[in-house]
Amino acid sequence: MELNVRLFALYRERAGKNIVTVAVADGATVSDLTDEVRRQIPNLAPPEVKIVVAVNTDYADSEVVLQPGDDVCLIPPVSGG
């Protein structure tokens, strides 16, 4: 299945676009999706950085199974005070 993945802030800047289309197998998990995004955009985030993912406006654990048409967003870590 193909999913449009929205990128925010630093991820958008590093990718040079707001949305990337990612192809994953049926039954793929959030972890599978982030692995594929990292493959497509190697400079997105260092391997030790956990990419925060929201699916259909809710934060999603790595084992959440994705469905066609899901609204997927990648949110970089934020800092400040």
What pLDDT digit, counting tens, does each position of 67-76 carry?
Answer: 999 999 999 9
CATH of domain 2-75: 3.10.20.30
The overall average pLDDT reported for the chain is 95
Domain boundaries, the chain: 2-75
Q: pLDDT value at position 81?
A: 54
pLDDT of residue 5 exceeding 90, the answer is yes
pLDDT of residue 79 exceeding 70, the answer is no
Q: For the chain, how big is the Rg over CA atoms in Å?
A: 12
Residue 78 pLDDT class (50, 70, 90 cuts): confident
